[in-house]
């Protein structure tokens, strides 16, 4: 669970994410973190597709934000998405918030 003392922003990731969306997602998240001076980005993924492109997007987001000293945590992740993360070896890279 995220440290309550950390500044946190919530990103809602919904619907299918296309390969063309991958770059823009990281840029938008970085801009939001700059504005809010946040240390943790909680991604609400309850409406996200349960596919490899979504996992790729979340992993890239974690990598980009970790380079900035920030961390991504998933919130409301469906079991299908968590199973796919585990299958792809990324379950520990993308921890859940709850």
Q: What share of the chain is helix, strand, coil (3-state, %, to 5)?
A: 45, 20, 40
In this predicted structure, what is the pLDDT of residue 73?
Answer: 93
Report pLDDT digits (tens) over 50-94: 999 899 889 988 988 888 888 889 999 999 999 999 999 999 999
* Residue 54 DSSP SS3: helix
Instruction: Give the residue-averaged pLDDT of 3-25.
Output: 78
Backbone φ and ψ of 44, nearest 5°: -80, 110
pTM for the model stands at 0.82
What DSSP designation does 91 have? T
């Amino acid at each position: 669970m995220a440290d309550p003392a950390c500044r946190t922003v919530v990103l809602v990731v919904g619907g299918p994410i296309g390969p063309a969306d991958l770059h823009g997602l990281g840029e938008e998240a970085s801009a939001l973190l700059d504005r809010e001076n946040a240390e943790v980005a909680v991604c609400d993924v309850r409406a996200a597709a349960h596919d490899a492109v979504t996992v790729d997007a979340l992993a890239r987001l974690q990598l980009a934000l970790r380079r900035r000293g920030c961390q991504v945590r998933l919130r409301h992740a469906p079991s299908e998405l968590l199973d796919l993360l585990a299958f792809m070896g990324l379950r520990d890279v993308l921890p859940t918030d709850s």
